[in-house]
């Protein structure tokens, strides 16, 4: 049955198609989705001005037999400023792609506010890496994919703590990761001021590969 549907979400992906069409990827409170903006990249196409991290209310039209719905209307609610800066954009892309991959309808209500809060932190925090480390691990937890952190080891491997192998976190890294996963946001962010961020980010990347799969945006991140 042909039908229209009203949605809300952040633009987290743009993929040009032949003939000037554009596939837009969204994450919103109801989950991750995609839609085709017809002729958006032509000179007269208004949808082509929709950029990454624009917050929209939009309408899509689903026709039987079509894999993707068509974007029919879009209203700009707001935009997250500052994420285009070279030192912040890679972190924003990784968090957005992670949220898109895990935001099933069952967990989207938990993932959505973390995505928005995390992107705001990446845009404004003096250390955007800290904002990504906090938000990335919290999105993983919201999706039900958090590591169990069992045992006494100081390395993280395949979702658990391990005596050998995996990403070395050290005692301060393990303490910080436990805080990120268990404490309220403000307290967890405070812990990160003295935490080994590079190790926590390496562990996040490894855990995402293990639980979600490789993200294309991971190659944009530069860690020591």
Range 31-44 average pLDDT: 86
* More confident site: 186 or 218: 218
Strand partners, 26: 11, 33
pLDDT at position 7: 95
pTM: 0.93
User: What integer pLDDT is reported at residue 152 of this predicted model?
Assistant: 83
* pLDDT value of residue 67: 83
Residue spans per domain, the chain = 3-79, 89-220
Task: Answer whether residue 14 shows pLDDT above 90.
Answer: yes
The pLDDT of residue 46 is above 90: no
Which has the closest alpha carbon to 191: 176, 169, 170? 176
Stretch among 15-19, 91-95, 163-167, 196-200 having the lowest mean pLDDT: 163-167
pLDDT recorded at residue 44: 61
Helices 108-124 + 128-142 axis angle, to 10: 180
Q: How far apart are CA 96 and CA 100, in angstroms?
A: 6
Token representation of residue 48? 């082509």
Q: Summarize the confidence of residues 208-221 as an average pLDDT.
A: 95
| pLDDT at res. 2 | 57
Give per-residue pLDDT as tens, 131-161. 999 999 999 999 999 999 988 889 998 888 8
Q: What percent of the chain has pLDDT over 90?
A: 75
CATH level 3 topology of 3-79: OB fold (Dihydrolipoamide Acetyltransferase, E2P) (2.40.50)
Top-confidence residue, 42 or 37: 37
- Dihedral of alpha carbons 77, 68, 220, 173, sign: positive
pLDDT at 159: 83
Q: Cα separation of 89 and 91, whole Å?
A: 5
pLDDT at 216: 95
Angle at 40 between CA 35 and CA 42, to 5 degrees: 155
pLDDT digits (tens, 9 = 90+) for 170-192: 999 999 999 999 999 889 988 89
For 84, list phi and psi in degrees, rounded to 5.
-80, -10
Q: What is the pLDDT of residues 72-130, one digit of tens each?
A: 999 999 999 999 999 999 999 999 999 999 999 999 999 999 999 999 999 999 999 99
Phi then psi dihedrals of residue 3, to 5 deg: -155, 155
pLDDT above 70: residue 43: no
pLDDT at 181: 96
Which of 171, 172, 175, 177 shows the shortest CA–CA distance to 206? Answer: 177
* Res 165: pLDDT: 82
> Is residue 130 within 8 Å of residue 118, measured between CB atoms?
no
């Amino acid at each position: 049955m042909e039908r229209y549907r009203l949605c809300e979400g952040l633009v987290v992906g743009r993929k040009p198609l032949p003939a000037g069409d554009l596939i837009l990827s969204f994450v919103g409170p109801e989950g991750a989705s995609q839609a085709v903006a017809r002729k958006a990249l032509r000179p007269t196409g208004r949808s082509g001005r929709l950029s990454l991290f624009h917050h929209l209310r939009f309408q899509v039209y689903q026709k039987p037999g079509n894999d993707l719905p068509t974007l029919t209307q879009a209203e700009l609610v707001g935009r997250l400023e500052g994420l285009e800066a070279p030192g912040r954009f890679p972190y924003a892309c990784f968090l957005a792609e992670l949220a898109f991959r895990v935001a099933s309808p069952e967990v989207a209500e938990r993932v959505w506010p973390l995505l928005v809060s995390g992107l705001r932190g990446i845009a404004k925090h003096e250390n955007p890496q800290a904002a990504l480390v906090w938000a990335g691990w919290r999105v993983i937890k919201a999706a039900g994919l958090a590591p169990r952190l069992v045992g006494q080891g100081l390395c993280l491997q395949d979702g658990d703590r391990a005596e050998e192998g995996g990403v070395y976190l050290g005692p301060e890294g393990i303490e910080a990761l436990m805080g990120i996963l268990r404490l309220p946001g403000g307290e967890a962010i405070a812990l990160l001021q003295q935490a080994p961020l590079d190790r926590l980010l390496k562990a996040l990347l490894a855990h995402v590969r293990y639980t979600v799969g490789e993200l294309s945006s991971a190659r944009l991140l530069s860690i020591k």
